[in-house]
């Protein structure tokens, strides 16, 4: 796994040994960032269920101003720390260790909001709608922001109140679904 583009282009990233962590393939990551390229520069990014931190680091490499990495695995937190050091983005990074709900509520309490939120929870836990609903209810997505969800193509995500599907793209067994706030949910 490597950084595809930007200031850290070509950097090989460490990955957790945990078999529950599925790093986003380079092909999917490159396609994802081609779609969201207009959101990246100078953006505030949340990499939820960060794993190795690859998505947040990719965003920072491409010009995002700040990234928050959230994961509840101590192994993943160690890997994220080493990867942001390797990518030389420590000064623009914040790591939060803990459950995603606590992370989102902490961000809400601090009045933090994000232009881009990456959501890639373990597929088998069926958390997608719950995570999206929590993001919406915490009001941490900026008005013109985007949420990118990576999930199993065999399990489409349903509609989530207050969010609308911007785009969906399938890459083999992987699906990316992009959400924006509905116009009337400002």
Reported as a single tens digit per residue, the pLDDT across 20-33 is 566 787 788 899 99
Q: Which residue, among 184, 179, 137, has the nearest Cα to 157 in the 3D structure?
A: 179
- The pLDDT score that the predictor gives to residue 24 is 80
Reported as a single tens digit per residue, the pLDDT across 106-123 is 999 999 999 999 998 876
Helix (H, G, I), strand (E, B) or coil at 152: strand
pLDDT above 70 covers a percentage of the chain that reads: 93
Reported as a single tens digit per residue, the pLDDT across 56-96 is 999 999 999 999 999 999 999 999 999 999 999 999 999 99
Token duo for residue 87: 């990518």
The alpha-helical segments, DSSP class H, found in the chain are 26-35, 37-40, 54-61, 74-86, 100-109, 128-138
CA distances from 41 to 15, 18, 72, 119, 126 (A): 26, 32, 28, 19, 32
pTM of the model: 0.92
CA end-to-end distance (rounded Å), the chain: 37
pLDDT at position 178 over 80 = yes
Mean pLDDT of the chain: 90
Is the model more confident about 151 or about 19? Answer: 151
What are the residues facing 186 on neighbouring strands? Answer: none
Q: Which residue, among 84, 69, 116, 79, has the nearest Cα to 3 in the 3D structure?
A: 84
């Amino acid at each position: 796994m490597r950084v595809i583009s930007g200031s850290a282009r070509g950097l090989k990233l460490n990955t957790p040994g945990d078999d529950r962590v599925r790093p986003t393939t380079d092909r999917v990551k490159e396609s994802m960032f081609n779609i969201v390229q207009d959101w990246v520069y100078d953006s505030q990014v949340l990499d939820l269920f960060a794993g190795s931190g690859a998505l947040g680091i990719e965003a920072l490499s491409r010009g995002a101003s700040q990234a928050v990495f959230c994961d509840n695995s101590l192994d993943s937190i160690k890997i994220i720390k080493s990867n942001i050091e390797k990518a030389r983005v420590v000064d623009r990074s914040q790591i939060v260790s803990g459950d995603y709900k606590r992370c989102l509520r902490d961000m809400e309490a601090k009045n933090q909001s994000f232009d881009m939120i990456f959501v890639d929870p373990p597929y088998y836990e069926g958390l997608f709608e719950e995570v999206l609903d929590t993001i919406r209810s915490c009001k941490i997505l900026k008005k013109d922001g985007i949420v990118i969800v990576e999930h199993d193509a065999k399990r489409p995500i349903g509609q989530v109140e207050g969010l609308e599907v911007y785009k969906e793209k399938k890459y083999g067994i992987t699906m990316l679904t992009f959400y924006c706030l509905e116009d009337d949910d400002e």
